[in-house]
Homo-oligomer: A and B are copies of this chain.
Amino acid sequence: MSVSIEPLIRVPLAELQALLQQVFQRHGCSEAVAGVLAANCASAQRDGAHSHGVFRMPGYVSTLASGWVDGRAVPEVNDVAAAFVQVDAKGGFAQPALAAARQLLVQKARSAGIAVLAIHNSHHFAALWPDVEPFAEEGLIALSVVNSMTCVVPHGARKPLFGTNPIAFAAPCAGHPPIVFDMATSAMAHGDVQIAARQGEQLPTGVGVDAAGEPTTDPQAMLDGGALLPFGGHKGSALSMMVELLAAGLTGGHFSWEFDWSQHPGAKTPWTGQLIIVIDPAKSTATPFSYRSAALVEQMHAAGLSRLPGQRRFIERELSSDRGVSVTEVQWLELQGMLERQVDE
């Protein structure tokens, strides 16, 4: 999905990120939180992951204005055990909670061989791959799950229960960028459904249902009281269930159906939990992992795969580095406009 039919401009990454930081601070985020969110959002835009880039900013502004999320929350890190870290995000965003615990998590993973970070009382409104990719850049393997908000009908059920509940994975790969994927366990990510609705596109069958629970190809019908379906039938549905159990059940975060934002008009961010597992492959006595993953990549190319998971993002990233990050003119003007508006509007 792309927004390239509209006129584009190219902006240096640092400039985009600085503007986003200003917008976040203008709308109630502390400098620390704004810095983390701006870097996250700018990197999604840089990588062509448009459903989680600048496209998300009106939602961030709206949810901050609603009082639903605390843009100034200071996460509380709890060192629970040799390989277990828990963070109370204090009703703020998940990314600053991860940032606060990250060093301890890496230290534990390197010492114990594996470590887990359980975040609760957190809002996650971004792509999941930026949470795992940096671990792979340090030679670690990372797996993360986050639940979201009820909008997916479990396979065989009559009404929605699960969130889009993505799973993201990152692993180092010698001589290549990290191997990274980030997949909604729904047939399509919610942001992509929103983009399709905005552009008046139809979606394939099997993506979602309308308000009556009937199959539809109209993204707007899925958003207006309808719902999404899991990817891959009962298997994707089981994975989505696992995400609820790990990201909410284990962490102490809310399940996707447990929060009530009806008193906060404009609230957009699911108030749930997130789990991140980090493994240090250097603990294995086998051939260095990154050489093994490079061998896998070689075989995947030999089998005829022209593009590996995550590869499109790295190509876009290089383009953005050469020419600046691509943003539509309309989006750029909207971002400027967000600087003008009052926090309490």
Residues of chain A touching chain B, judged by Cβ–Cβ distance below 8 Å, are: 78, 80-84, 86, 111-116, 118, 120, 141, 153-154, 156-161, 167, 169, 171, 179, 181, 183, 231-236, 238-239, 241-242, 244-246, 248-252, 255, 257, 277, 279-281, 283-287, 289, 292-293, 295-296, 299-300, 303-307, 309
What is the interface of chain A mostly: helix, strand, loop, or mixed? mixed
* Residue in A244, A277, A283 with the greatest tally of chain B CB atoms within 10 Å: A283
Decide: A293 near B245, CB < 8 A? Known: A112-B112, A232-B236.
yes
Copies in the complex: 2
Q: Report chain B residues within 8 Å CB of A280.
A: 84
**CB–CB A303/B82 < 8 A:** no
A144 to chain B: closest CB distance in Å? 12
**CB–CB B232/A232 < 8 A:** yes
Q: Report chain B residues within 8 Å CB of A153.
A: 303
Q: Report chain B residues within 8 Å CB of A293.
A: 245, 249
**CB–CB B245/A171 < 8 A:** yes
Decide: A158 near B304, CB < 8 A? Known: A234-B309, A283-B80, A296-B245.
yes
List 17 additional A-B contacts (Cβ < 8 Å) besides A83-B112, A154-B303: A82-B82, A82-B111, A83-B83, A83-B113, A84-B283, A114-B115, A114-B277, A154-B305, A156-B305, A157-B300, A161-B303, A167-B239, A231-B235, A245-B292, A249-B289, A250-B284, A251-B284
Q: Report chain B residues within 8 Å CB of A309.
A: 234, 238, 241
18 residue pairs bridging A and B, Cβ less than 8 Å apart: A78-B285, A80-B284, A82-B82, A83-B112, A84-B114, A84-B280, A84-B284, A114-B114, A114-B115, A141-B245, A141-B250, A156-B307, A161-B299, A181-B238, A241-B309, A249-B292, A250-B279, A250-B281
Q: Report chain B residues within 8 Å CB of A248.
A: 292
Q: How far is the CA of A169 from the CA of B238 in the complex (A)?
A: 9
**CB–CB B286/A179 < 8 A:** no
Which one of B118, B160, B299, B306 lies within 8 Å of A255 (CB-CB)? B299
Q: Report chain B residues within 8 Å CB of A82.
A: 82-83, 111-113
**CB–CB B244/A296 < 8 A:** yes
Q: How far is the CA of A118 from the CA of B236 in the complex (A)?
A: 26
Q: How far is the CA of A82 from the CA of B171 in the complex (A)?
A: 22
Q: How far is the CA of A117 from the CA of B11 in the complex (A)?
A: 47
Which one of B84, B236, B300 lies within 8 Å of A154 (CB-CB)? B300
Q: Report chain B residues within 8 Å CB of A250.
A: 141, 279, 281, 284, 286, 289, 292
Q: How far is the CA of A113 from the CA of B246 in the complex (A)?
A: 14
**CB–CB A286/B241 < 8 A:** no
Q: How far is the CA of A305 from the CA of B232 in the complex (A)?
A: 17
Q: How far is the CA of A83 from the CA of B80 in the complex (A)?
A: 14
